[in-house]
Structure 1
Amino acid sequence: MSEAWENDEAEYAAGIAHSINKGWDAVNDFYAAADALYTDADEPWTLPIYGGRPVPHSTDADPSNPPLMLLEPSGVSQAARFLATVSFDDLWNVVDARFTALGWTGQEHLEHHRDLQEFYGQAASAGHAVVKAVWA
């Protein structure tokens, strides 16, 4: 994943990668606000930012590499449905004061939201899984 991070422009151009340079916790907190908005939903109303099945590294792997998480195609489809349905404006209204106080902007999160909609939508349409790495 470290190599992929360094070569992300080629992977972005190929449509097979998306990254958020920092702030996964903030992105997770942003989407977790959906739980308060959609209390009567039939399925979980969160984006599985940290979800998926852990994929162990080989024994000779660089210990500085982050753990990998594999989100199976069904989880990718669930994430794509969530992102296509959730209202960005409604979520921002829930988190605005807290996020603004921390220096996060609505525009920054809107860009992440649109990128994630596109990425998960394409992956779900293709029946792909998603491999995630989160550096601390």
Structure 2
Amino acid sequence: MSTYLRLRAVPPPALRNSTTWLERLFDDDSETVGHRVGRHREGALGKRYLDQERIYAGAPAHPAEGRPQGQVVLGGRRVFRTDRHKPPFLVLTAAQARRVARFLAMADFDALWDFARDELLPRYGGVAAEPEAWCAFAAAHQELRAFYAQTAECGDAVVKWLPA
């Protein structure tokens, strides 16, 4: 089983704090979700999403400058499911999504990579494989950046789900 993180943008008025509603948000196909919640955008990070989080964990948190804590890029408020053995959903408000979008727009990926590279490279083939690892993480960073930029532009919240 491949572990990955799915992200969906949701207009704030459509967002529900119901685990049943959140489960349906990810169980239904994109077209059905689009009809139910209005506009629909989805992103996904592959099985290295936990390592992607490591890149942002080193990001400086300057609340006065509107930057989020690193974990907010991939984290959020937990909404626990009735089956506590399943991972919770993670929710970012529209305001939090805007802060993440601003952070990602201003973030220097090379500086973030430099902070995390020594921890990440051994898992991806070492220094010899750095160009490939850098490219993979940079591509995921760009996908997150684009997802959050469009989400912020639309004023949407974000719901995240880690399939069990």
Amino acid paired to 1:46: G
Structure 1, unmatched stretches of 5+, are none
Partner of 2:156: 128
Partner of 2:105: 84
The structure with more strand, counted as a fraction of residues: 2
Q: 1:78: Cα distance to partner?
A: 0.6
Partner of 2:121: 100
The TM-score, its normalising length taken from structure 1, stands at 0.75
Q: 1:4: Cα distance to partner?
A: 3.5
Q: 1:100: Cα distance to partner?
A: 1.1
The TM-score, its normalising length taken from structure 2, stands at 0.63
Of the three residues 42, 48, 73, the one matched with 1:17 is 42
Partner of 1:55: 79
Between the aligned partners of 1:3 and 1:70, the Cα distance in structure 2 is 13
Q: Which has the higher contact order (CA 8 A, sep 6+)?
A: 2
Is this contact kept in 1: 2:73–2:100, CA < 8 A? no
Between the aligned partners of 1:50 and 1:21, the Cα distance in structure 2 is 13
Is this contact kept in 1: 2:80–2:87, CA < 8 A? no
1:3-41 CA distance string (max 9 Å, x none): 837857x98xx8610011212221111111212xx7796
Between the aligned partners of 1:15 and 1:44, the Cα distance in structure 2 is 24
Please give the secondary structure, in 2, of the residue aligned with 1:17: strand
Is this contact kept in 2: 1:73–1:130, CA < 8 A? yes
Amino acid paired to 1:48: V
Partner of 1:67: 88
Superposition misfits of 4+ residues, deviation over 6 angstroms: 38-41
Q: 1:117: Cα distance to partner?
A: 0.4
Supply the RMSD in Å over aligned alpha carbons: 3.3
